[in-house]
Amino acid sequence: MKEKLMSLSQAADLIQDGMLLALGGNAMHRNPTLFALELARRPLKGLKVCGAAPGIATDYLMAQVDTAYFGFFGLENEAGLAPQMRKYMEGDGPARAIEGS
């Protein structure tokens, strides 16, 4: 049987410019934060992200995102909207929001 485990770096090597990423988790819980931080260190661009309630892991990637599909994008009630998402959606970056219901 083929080995299915790989290092974080090997997994990040699979991601290419323009890909659509559906990162797991919900707002501040069960997010793949170390994976997102590894991707954020790479010169990726034009990524698309989607999720029902993307959170902190997706927020780390906003400098590399051109489109975000979501129902709610935030860091729980206490922390409010995700800061990088808000920055890039308000005009400091190329990202556009596609909010669904």
User: Per the domain annotation, does 38 fall within a domain?
Assistant: yes
Mean pLDDT of 7-22: 96
Min mean pLDDT across 2-6, 10-14, 17-21 is at 2-6
User: Per the domain annotation, does 25 fall within a domain?
Assistant: yes
| Distance separating alpha carbons of residues 14 and 37, to the nearest angstrom | 15
Task: State which amino acid sits at residue 49.
Answer: V
Query: At residue 44, does pLDDT exceed 80?
Result: yes
Partners of residue 98 on adjacent β-strands: 69
Q: Count up the domains in the chain and report the number.
A: 1
Q: How high is the pLDDT of residue 93?
A: 65
> Residue 71 belongs to what domain range?
16-99
Name residues whose C-beta falls within 8 Å of residue 7's C-beta, 6 or more positions apart in sequence: none
Higher pLDDT residue, 16 or 54? Answer: 16
Q: How high is the pLDDT of residue 101?
A: 56
Q: How high is the pLDDT of residue 88?
A: 81
- What mean pLDDT, rounded, does the chain reach? 88
Phi, psi torsion values for 92, nearest 5 degrees: -90, 10
User: Per the domain annotation, does 47 fall within a domain?
Assistant: yes
